[in-house]
Structure 1
Amino acid sequence: MNPTVARLTVRGLLGRRRGLLLLVVPALLLAVSALAAAAHGDEQSLTVKILGELDLGTLVPILGLVVGTGVIATEIDDGSIVYLLAKPLPRWRIVTTKLVVAIGTTWAFAAVPTLFAGLLLYGTRDGLALGYTVAVLVAGAAYSALFLLLGVVTRHAVVAGLGYALVWEALVGNYVDGARTLSIQQWGRAVAQSVAGESAIGSAVPLGTAVPLLLIVTVASTVLASVKLAGLTLTADE
């Protein structure tokens, strides 16, 4: 963890336009939850639908994509990363620092609102609010690492990330049994289920499979991003 890199990353990530964009996710989730709670009361099925499908299934991956690619992809695209790479810092430290910032930002803008939304919708009953909050924490970390890796390996990181989040996870992963095993969303659901119980939250992936896969994706993405960044050569004109 390098404080200077962290400070510059936070400044770039939470700039005026991107900061406003990040606020859309918690604002939308809390607004939908408030309206649903006022209109339908504390229904378990409605809570599962909002926190499971809208939040964990759609908003969290999109937020993770914006944050994960935003901490490094824009610097690579505009060539400003060359000044950071010129510093006597190990590339892995740059990557891990940016990942810590990405995970912390994702947690702040996704996990905290998830807890508030769950409490608003269903209170503390059945452990739903806590279960989905823990799911967002672990899934958010994995998304951040994966999308940071995409930001390093391709200039089309946003397109690739949207393809994974919206096509693979939201479409294929929800309707094709075999594909669910390779879905961060489903791994998060398994963690939520372990906290809240099978009667409240369903998951297509067992916890014993989900946890190792979450760790593998997070660690492997960080290592690969460090290796790729170590081999990256840029000039100030790029």
Structure 2
Amino acid sequence: MYNPTVARLTYRALLGRRRALILCTLPALLIVISIAIRLMTGADDETADSILGGFALSVMVPLIGVIAGTGAIGPEIDDGSVVYLLAKPVKRPTIIVTKLFVAVGVTMAFSAIPTLIAGLILNGNSQGIAGAYTSAAAMASIAYSAIFLLLGTITRHAVVAGLVYALVWESVFGTYVSGARQLSVQQWALAAAEKIGQGDLITSDVGLPVAVVLLVGVTVAATWYAGQKLRSLTLAGEE
């Protein structure tokens, strides 16, 4: 279910000069903000929780997921070059799973690692906050990558749809609307962070067992459906 050639081509597409610059922007901003706050206010657990939860997890992780998830396959479908990939003797589910691995790897590298660095800068991992949010970012990266990879296979406006989802649903409804939090990847990831962190700063509206089931379920379902859409795209091209 993993093809090194497909992975190499996908990494090359995602980490091209322009896209890599975009991917680096938010992590760099997070670290700069963290340094500035630490210099101005010193180490503070509540501030670290606010920055890591309010910016890193709710804004940076889903936006990087949009870039990596949709970029893993969307451009190939838009410009028609996916035809050359589909002509190769590689199973369609293998293509999707390989691209998901790449998208997850890129999303984690540009979100979980900067989150850890920012957390260590802000409060030195006091109360386990840096580690908790890093774990949450890593878990969210998997689900976001699958969701946005699916969007890349079903619409030519995947980036726009992904941005609406990331900025409106996750950042607004997932943070401030209590009923919507049950269906928010951010809240599912926070359930793990709440378990890992110490103290009562990190909270989630979703229990950890339910959160794990939902994270796994959404990831598997989105990956499966993306494979089905790619399979139907092949059939349409052959016809």
Q: Structure 1: how far apart are the matches of 2:101 and 2:43?
A: 35
Q: Structure 2: how far apart are the matches of 1:10 and 1:92?
A: 18
1:181 — aligned with what? 182
Alpha-carbon offset, residue 47 of structure 1: 0.4
Residues 45 and 126 in structure 2, CA contact (< 8 A), matched pair in contact too? no
Instruction: Say if 1:164 and 1:198 are closer, same or farther in 2 by CA, change over 3 A.
Output: farther
SS across alignment from 1:232: helix
Residues 79 and 235 in structure 1, CA contact (< 8 A), matched pair in contact too? no
Q: Structure 2: how far apart are the matches of 1:79 and 1:32?
A: 41
Q: Structure 1: how far apart are the matches of 2:109 and 2:154?
A: 26
1:13 — aligned with what? 14
2:133 — aligned with what? 132
2:24 — aligned with what? 23
Q: Structure 1: how far apart are the matches of 2:175 and 2:149?
A: 24
Q: Deviations over 1:139-188 (max 9, x none)?
A: 01100010000000111111111121111121222222111000001111
SS across alignment from 1:199: coil
2:114 — aligned with what? 113
Q: Work out whether 1:46 is the aligned partner of 2:52.
A: no
Q: Structure 1: how far apart are the matches of 2:199 and 2:58?
A: 18
Alpha-carbon offset, residue 198 of structure 1: 5.2
1:144-155 to structure 2, matched below 5 A, reads 144-155=145-156
In the alignment, structure 1 segments of 5+ residues that lack a partner are none
Q: Structure 1: how far apart are the matches of 2:18 and 2:162?
A: 20
Alpha-carbon offset, residue 124 of structure 1: 2.5
SS across alignment from 1:160: helix
The runs of at least 4 aligned residues of structure 1 exceeding 2 Å deviation read: 233-236
Q: Work out whether 1:79 is the aligned partner of 2:80.
A: yes
Moved more, 22-31 or 69-78: 22-31
Alpha-carbon offset, residue 197 of structure 1: 3.5
2:232 — aligned with what? 231
